[in-house]
Structure 1
Amino acid sequence: MDLKRRSCLRNRDRISELPDALLLQILSFVPTKDAVATSVLSKRWRYLCKMMPRLRFWYERTDDLERFSDNVCRFLLSHQAPVLQSLHLEVNFERGSTMDIGVLLGVAFGLHVRELELQVYSWEPYRFPTSLYNCRTLETLKLGSSVLLDVPFPVCLKALRTLSLFDVSYKDDGSVVNLLSGCSVLENLEVMMFSHPHLGTFTIHVPSLQNLTLISDSEDFTVFVINAPHLKYLNLKGLIDEDSCLIENTPEVVEAHITDVSSVVYENIHGSLTSVKRLSLKIASPLKLTKFNRIFNQLVCLEIHTYEPEWWNLLMLMLHSSPNLQVLKLISEWFRILDRLTYNRWSQPKYVAECLVNRLETLVWENYEGDIEDDREVAQYMLSNASRLETATFSRTDILHTEKRLERLKELESVAKASNSCQLVFT
């Protein structure tokens, strides 16, 4: 091969030889402004930029606001793809600056956008345009930070399946009702609230809903009412007020994560969770109940965070209420030791739970140290009574095995186990 031919092959533009579909996929992984910069390469690249299915724009305070708005609007107006798959718009306003985001969103809706993510950072809340609550092609809507939802009438978002509301503001209770009532096929709802002074009741009445995440970290009192007959996955976090949550109808929940929730809230809602197969609990204070009125007949996998004094009361309560439990995972957290100044000690139950006798196969205890006598007694009780147990794993997050911990682990090895086939694993 002569030198001239070798040089031609070396300088050959192999990327431009790739099919359009693959090039568009590559461009979707880089910021839109960088993708637009490729338009100067050739007419083909200029055409590809106008066909990009996913667009992402963000405005920084150092940029010229008017120029940014004009550039985005011009780019959207020249867009030629049959469907705009997604638009991510992030705007960071300085005090006193304004921008008509509604015009940009209107253009995007005219392009039949399917996924819209709007993040606004501003001193004053940005009121989401009411004229855009009737987009028939929108499948995913994600709103964050300084967005205000003022919905004076029922909306019509017939294709919306995923809705994420991250620390947005609400004009009133009716705005929540009007928004959700217009989402007839909504399957996934994620609500994160850090301040909601204008809400008394946050009503989630969505028959089609399957996945719900509700996170609240605010001193403002709001009652969350959940009515979702086809809900499969539930994630609640941060509800500490006694009457902050009311579950009216969730007969099909399969998996639930209840985190940093007060014992009173859990006592109020546990009766609506009896259909779960997998349940994770991190309850913020000891339970007052000594018996549940409902039985968790479907529960096969239970996870409990043992970070509060008397956490074993919750454990025993759940064991006696879960006759078919097969997997139990306990997660210790170090800071809880500081709170153990005064509490009721562990007391061995008079009756062994049915699941320990007939069902439990796997026990995992993360961060097991064995320093606390109550913890040791609980561990020994489990080994002594779980007659079907196959593996019991006691682990730590660090790899150091102190002499004291090794001594505690030897104590577990010496326990007379109810299951002859149980394998102890220490990591």
Structure 2
Amino acid sequence: MATKKVKTSSRDSISTLPDEVLGQILSFLPTKLAASTTVLSKRWRNLFPLVHNLDFDPFMVISPNRIKPATGRSTYLDFMEDTLVLLRNSPIKKFSLTWSSLQNINHIIYSVLENGVLELHLSSSVCQCLLPGFFSKNLVKLTLSNGCYYQTKPPPGGVLFPSLKTLSLVLVCFPANAPVDLYESLLASPLLEEFNICDDHPHRAGWVKQVSGSSIRRMSIFYRSHNMKDHSCFVIKTPNLVYLDYSSYVAEDYVVQFDSLVEARLDLRLWKYYDFLPPKALYHGYDPSTDGPWGDATKLIAALSNVVTLYLSADTLEVSFLLLFFCFGANVIVMT
């Protein structure tokens, strides 16, 4: 009996699973590890095309920026191209790509978009010009991170992603002198429901502080520039927005439109409560130690008067304590 138990426990249970289940398991593994299974056997080589999630990062290869004499491309670029060749006839649901070299990777992005990818995440530490091929009828979720992105030609019909529902921009900037306003093109997606901005870099302007879109229903804004000029005015026109999470230093002025807002989280930081004292030039004549409060949140607070649930930070209470009495219909919760 003991011998029989040992024999049963040593069976290869993984190989008995259906191909579709194994493909799903491989999709949860790091892309390099999933690709390495192709050397196990002919069956495993045929399983790799069932992988639908790809995540490319330079750290997955040794010396990613080393140029191969035979191809003239980096080892990282070669690895990505070889992997995509194996998956050329397979649907890709989610694709993540991180790169830091100046080598052009537009053809990689173009290939994935042509494949019909549903979710795309791009992260770059170099300025990246996205070619007109940066277009897809299928994409529903897009994240741009850690870089400067621009285009030189408008997308077909003026809309990059007609099916896009979620857009996230993390530490992203768009050149002001670019021929095409990529930021506006992204917001023009007619089905866009969720928009997220995160920029905690203290010494750059980042995005343009303007959001407009009648289809946007959920929005999160986290902005931490330490330059007062970057907080001169915030323009947010989202008439169908139902959820807002807004965190930033108080601005000098606001132009807002919230006709349908149900729940809001507000964290307005006062300039006098800096974590550190920045150069006086960033204050543009304002002295937080002697001058009165800088900024006016009146329009923003008043636009929240009809929300059902309102979460407020302690700083927000200090910014506009009296104005909060206009929110008589709201369930106000103070965040600690």
In the superposition, the TM-score normalised over structure 1's length comes to: 0.62
How far the C-alpha of 1:82 sits from its partner, in A, is 4.5
What percent of counterpart residues are identical? 24
Q: Following the alignment from structure 1 to structure 2, what is the Cα–Cα distance between the partners of residues 106 and 190?
A: 24
Aligned equivalents of 2:115 and 2:323: distance in 1? 57
SS in 2 for 1:63: coil
Structure 1 residues 150 and 239, CA gap change in structure 2 (3 angstroms): farther
Any stretches of 5+ residues in structure 1 without a counterpart? 306-330, 332-427
Match of 2:96 among 83, 88, 97: 88
Q: 1:235 aligns with which of 221, 245, 251?
A: 245
Structure 1 distance, partners of 2:323, 2:141, is 42
Question: Quick check: 1:303 aligned with 2:333?
Answer: yes
Q: Which residue of 2 aligns with 1:36?
A: 35
Distance in 2 between the 1:277 and 1:128 partners? Answer: 43
Match of 2:174 among 170, 173, 196: 170
Q: Does 1:279 align with 2:283?
A: no
1:172–1:293 distance in 2 versus 1, CA, 3 Å:
farther
Among 241, 246, 254, the alignment partner of 2:255 is 246
Q: Is the 8 A contact 2:132 2:151 kept in 1?
A: no
- The residue type paired with residue 259 of structure 2 is P
Aligned position for 1:213: 220
2:225 and 2:191 map into 1 onto residues whose CA distance is 30
- CA shift at 1:189, angstroms? 0.6
**Mapping of 1:354-373 within 5 angstroms?**
none
Listed as ranges, the matches of 1:32-111 within 5 Å are 32-60=31-59, 63-65=63-65, 66-79=74-87, 82-91=90-99, 93=100, 97-111=101-115
Per-residue deviation, 1:134: 2.1
Q: Distance in 2 between matches of 1:17 and 1:27?
A: 15
Distance 2:153 2:325 in 1: 41
Instruction: For 1:205 and 1:68, locate their aligned partners in 2 and report how far apart those are by CA, in whole Å.
Output: 38
SS across alignment from 1:257: strand
Matched, 1:179 2:181: no
User: How far apart are residue 136 of structure 1 and its match?
Assistant: 1.1
Residue 270 in structure 1 maps to residue 307 in structure 2: no
Q: Is the 8 A contact 2:132 2:153 kept in 1?
A: no
Q: Following superposition, which runs of at least 4 residues in structure 1 exceed 3 angstroms of deviation? A: 5-11, 149-155, 195-199, 260-266, 287-296
TM-superposed deviation, 1:147: 3.3
Q: Write the letter of the residue equivalent to 2:80.
A: V
Preserved contact between residue 52 and residue 81 of structure 1 (Cα < 8 Å) = no
Tell me what 1:313 maps to: none
Q: Distance in 2 between matches of 1:58 and 1:226?
A: 35
Give, in angstroms, the shift of residue 11 of structure 1: 3.8
CA distance in 2, matches of 1:236, 1:25: 37
Contact 1:239 1:265 in 2 (8 A): no
How many Å apart are 1:36 and its aligned residue?
1.1
The 2-side partners of 1:110 and 1:198 are apart by 30
1:303 counterpart SS class: strand
The residue identity in structure 1 corresponding to 2:146 is S
Change (3 A) 1:235 1:7: closer
1:161–1:188 contact (8 Å) kept in structure 2: yes
The structural deviation recorded for 1:277 is: 1.4
Residues 95, 120 of structure 2: 8 Å contact kept: yes
Amino acid of the structure 1 residue aligned with 2:82: R
Q: d(CA) in 2 for partners of 1:53 and 1:256?
A: 36
Q: Where does 1:383-402 land on structure 2 (aligned, <5 Å)? A: none
Compare CA radii of gyration and give the structure with the larger one.
1
Choose the corresponding residue for 1:258, options 263, 266, 270.
266
The alignment's TM-score, normalised by the length of structure 2, stands at: 0.77
User: Which region of structure 1 is more displaced relative to structure 2, 7-16 or 275-284?
Assistant: 7-16
Residue 128 of structure 2 is matched in structure 1 by 127
Q: CA deviation at 1:175?
A: 2.2
Measured against aligned partners, the alpha-carbon deviations of 1:233-283 in whole angstroms (never above 9, x if no partner) come to 10111132322x421x21111111111344844322012112311111125
The change in CA–CA distance for 1:206 and 1:292 in structure 2 (over 3 A counts) is same
Deviation by residue 1:10-51 (Cα, 9 ceiling, x = unmatched): 442210111223212221222010111111222221111122
State the match for 1:12 in structure 2.
11
The answer on whether the counterparts of 1:255 and 1:276 sit within 8 Å (CA) in structure 2 is yes
Name the aligned partner's letter for residue 147 of structure 1: C
- Paired with 1:101 and 1:40, the residues of 2 have a C-alpha distance of 27
Query: What amino acid is the match of 2:93?
Result: Q
C-alpha distance in structure 2 between counterparts of 1:76 and 1:33, whole Å:
12
Deviation, 1:133, is 3.6
What secondary structure is seen at the aligned counterpart in 1 of 2:57? strand
For 2:298, the aligned partner's letter is E
Give the 3-state SS of the residue equivalent to 1:38 in structure 2: helix
Alpha-carbon RMSD: 2.8
Give the distance between the partners of 2:209 and 2:121, measured in 1 at CA: 22
Opposite residue 264 of structure 2, the aligned amino acid is: A
Does structure 2 conserve the Cα–Cα contact (< 8 Å) formed by 1:177 and 1:204?
no
Task: Rate the CA distance shift 1:246–1:225 in 2: closer, same or farther, 3 A.
Answer: same
> Residue 13 of structure 1: SS of its match in structure 2?
coil
Question: How far has the Cα of 1:62 moved from its partner?
Answer: 5.2
Counterpart residue identity of residue 258, structure 1: L
State the aligned residue count.
Answer: 293
Which of 152, 155, 158 is matched with 2:162 structurally?
158
